[in-house]
Structure 1
């Protein structure tokens, strides 16, 4: 049987009271945290503009689909630009020189304009006292079907080295 005199002792009563007080404080702490979490959850589900979370998520999903389409379009456009760039002038090489030994400065030049595949043109300007001649020669893969001067070959080599 239970001995009530042992239970009624002041240390037992104080111990039980202290234990109950600790449990009460823990319970109060949990209650406060629960109320706080409910309030935060309500704010989250409500959203900043008064919409509920479901509508916000649906809007985000729709926007995501639109963005996916735009990214796909941008990829296609980038691929088209890359294809165009292959045939655009990407490399330039220029050589200045004296075409005639009796002229004082290097007024003649050869300049090569090449694309990514070393196709393009080399243009030469020969300066003389009485006249200035300008002509161009096509270049395919770094080589021309026309005879090239040393300066024109040097201009093509410079342009091809620039692209490395």
Structure 2
């Protein structure tokens, strides 16, 4: 035991310096932890601000319910979009027109051919032939890009124009 006391007395200055260094290091650690706690407390105060004494869990649950409602509304909108997209395919969306001179004795391009088709290339071709004596209009049905009636050169041209749109 005396041996230990002699060693402690002999190295007491080193032991005191070591303990002083450890104390300073612990003091620095305490200051940094205090700083971290202050930052965390500021974040907590900011998080709790404006909650009007509501439980934070209730607030989060209400926001999650709003998100679920928004997701359902979004899915409904996407479904309606797909339905409308399918429905629009049967609407007229391809049109081509050509004006031309059917007869040499007519002064201007008064005759015409119009192809009116949907996305499935179903529709009609309207042709108006103008001459000095009379004017005639013809309608020819088109099914999947093909007419069962013989088409003139101009009608074939407008049909191909409309199909390629």
Both proteins in one fold, TM over 0.5: yes
Give the corresponding residue for 1:48: 50
How far did residue 129 of structure 1 move? 2.3
Unpaired runs of at least 5, structure 2: none
- Please say if 1:102 is aligned against 2:105: yes
CA RMSD of aligned residues (A): 2.1
Which structure would you say has the larger RCO, counting Cα contacts within 8 Å and 6 or more residues apart? 1
Equivalent of 1:136 in 132, 135, 139 = 139
Give the corresponding residue for 1:19: 22
5 Å matches for 1:107-118? 107-118=110-121
- Please say if 1:62 is aligned against 2:58: no
Deviations 1:124-159 (A, max 9, x none): 111222433223211111122233222111111111
Is residue 126–residue 134 contact of structure 1 (8 Å, CA) maintained in 2? yes
Deviations 1:87-134 (A, max 9, x none): 111211222211111223322110101111110011111122243322
TM-score, reference length from structure 1:
0.84
5 Å matches for 1:77-92? 77-92=80-95
Distance 1:6 1:110 in 2: 118
Report SS of the residue matched to 2:164.
helix
Give the corresponding residue for 1:8: 12
Distance 1:105 1:12 in 2: 116
Unpaired runs of at least 5, structure 1: none
How far did residue 37 of structure 1 move? 1.3
Is residue 119–residue 139 contact of structure 1 (8 Å, CA) maintained in 2? yes
Is residue 47–residue 53 contact of structure 1 (8 Å, CA) maintained in 2? no
TM-score, reference length from structure 2:
0.83
